Amino acid sequence: MPQDNPYLANPRWAVAERVAEAARRRFPADVLAIGAYGRLAHGDDDETTGVDLVVVTYRESGGPRPTRRRIDGVLVGLDVVDADRHLRRAHTLDTGWPLAADRYVTTRPLYDPTDWLDKLRDAHLGRLAQARAPEFSALAREAWCEAASAHALANRLAAWYDTDGALVGLGVARLAAANVVGLLTRTYFRDGADAVRRAGLAGADLTELGEVLRTQAGELAARGRPVDGSVGDLFDV
């Protein structure tokens, strides 16, 4: 990265640069590219933000191991994935797409001599261009079922006065319901907190979330993807 780049004044970028340099030095034959994603890549990080890095390797099992540590007071998460697998992920749409897409589109390179991260972005954008509305609606229905299941469990735990368990279940249900919103609107999020906030679910309690799920079920039915069906419908997706 050029010395006049303003990101170098950021202590989290400084840590990221050191990690990237160490990975290249220790695994020179394995590392294809290294990038930062999340808030650091978007440039709105602060002193509470960790450093999320991905090391792309030429082959499976090459390079360092995935890990998380604190370095100079900064939490560093190191994800390691081989290039073929990462490209396959970029070509795949599933219920977690709203939380995964940002990593394909906005990863900022720390080391990328062949512009491989640009190829990853273009591959994902190409896959999105090919996708049709029914595909996203089908995935939204799956995400809705995950949200409904977590919501039902949270309600049951609340009835049993298991407040802690109910709160955990509520958090899972909120995130899954946010994924429904992302899939129906083709919107991707930076992380889980961003997802529930932008979906308007950050403060939703169990009753409010139940209303949201009912509204989503109606929208899915209107799109030809009803959440209720027969046994045979399980095999007719």
| One domain for residues 125 and 167 | no
Least confident of 37-51, 110-124, 192-206: 37-51
**pLDDT of 3 above 90:** no
Which percentage of the chain shows pLDDT scores above 90? 91
Distance CA 35, CA 27 (A): 16
- Containing domain of residue 137, as a range? 133-235
**What pTM was computed for the model?**
0.92
| One domain for residues 16 and 58 | yes
| One domain for residues 118 and 184 | no
Alpha-carbon dihedral sign for residues 16, 22, 27, 29: positive
| One domain for residues 13 and 112 | yes
108: left (phi over 0), alpha (psi -120 to 50) or beta: beta
**pLDDT of 8 above 70:** no
| One domain for residues 52 and 93 | yes
**pLDDT of 4 above 70:** no
Q: What confidence category does residue 237 fall into, taking pLDDT thresholds of 50, 70 and 90?
A: low
pLDDT tens for each residue of 100-109: 999 999 999 9
Determine, yes or no, domain membership for 1.
Answer: no
Q: How far apart are the first and last CA of the chain?
A: 47
| One domain for residues 14 and 102 | yes
| One domain for residues 111 and 196 | no
| One domain for residues 144 and 218 | yes
Determine, yes or no, domain membership for 219.
Answer: yes
**Domain final position from 130, 162, 180:** 130
Q: Which residues make beta-bridge pairs with 57?
A: 31, 82
Question: Which of 106, 77, 87 minimizes the C-alpha distance to 32?
Answer: 87
| One domain for residues 196 and 93 | no
pLDDT tens for each residue of 144-157: 999 999 999 999 99
- The number of folded domains in the chain is 2
pLDDT tens for each residue of 72-96: 999 999 999 999 999 999 999 999 9
| One domain for residues 125 and 143 | no
**pLDDT of 215 above 90:** yes
Determine, yes or no, domain membership for 63.
Answer: yes
**Domain final position from 75, 103, 130:** 130
- 12 Cβ contact partners less than 8 Å away, ≥ 6 residues apart: 40, 45, 49, 50, 51, 74
Distance CA 67, CA 164 (A): 29
| One domain for residues 17 and 120 | yes
Classify residue 63 by its DSSP letter.
S
Distance CA 97, CA 88 (A): 13
SS (H, E, C) 110-129: EECCCCHHHHHHHHHHHHHH
Contact 116, 33 (CB under 8 A): yes
pLDDT tens for each residue of 169-209: 999 999 999 999 999 999 999 999 999 999 999 999 999 99
Distance CA 64, CA 59 (A): 12
Determine, yes or no, domain membership for 76.
Answer: yes
**pLDDT of 115 above 60:** yes
Distance CA 40, CA 74 (A): 12
Contact 75, 50 (CB under 8 A): yes
Residue 176 half-sphere exposure toward CB, CA atoms < 13 A: 22
Count of helices and strands (H, E) across the chain: 9, 5
Give residue 115's Cα distance to chain centre.
22
- Check residue 2 and give its pLDDT: 41
**Domain final position from 93, 115, 130:** 130
**pLDDT of 162 above 90:** yes
